[in-house]
Amino acid sequence: MNYEDPRDKEFIIKLVQEYIDLQDQRGEGFSIIYTQDRIKKQFESLNNQIKKEIKRIAKHHKEEKGKELTIYNCFDCYLYTFLYDKIITINNYVEKIKSKKLIKREILDYQKDYLRIIWYISNYIKPEAKLLQYD
């Protein structure tokens, strides 16, 4: 993918903006503490964004290589498998969040996981972004 193309940039811009919005100005904590319902919705929204990006990658692959991505050749496109792995991780988080009433510490842990996924995706796609990882 050419993330210099304005059409391709939208996905990464949304991720980086979410990353920035979540942290306080010093990058030392969260500027917003989500509720259980909100963190679930954030994960679901990110999941939907990633699915759209995977479809764009598959379309781009078909245009560039002349063949569709299938279960047999999708591992040839690492970005596709990288993002697909993130969907599996997010689905796991969403199921755990839905399974019980979370205490504040658990919500904060999931919020860190959410931020970490954004960090991994952003820094993989645009290494020069150099986002700091929140611990």
CA geometry: angle at 96 spanning 12 and 98, to 5°?
95
> How confident is the prediction for the chain on average, in pLDDT?
85
Taking residues 93-121, report their average pLDDT.
94
C-alpha 12/C-alpha 22 separation (Å) is 16
E strand map for 46-112: none
Percentage of the chain modeled with pLDDT above 70:
84
Q: Is residue 104 over pLDDT 90? A: yes
For 29-51, write each residue's pLDDT tens digit.
788 889 999 999 999 999 998 99
Q: How far apart are CA 20 and CA 131, in angstroms?
A: 9
Amino acid making up residue 49 = Q
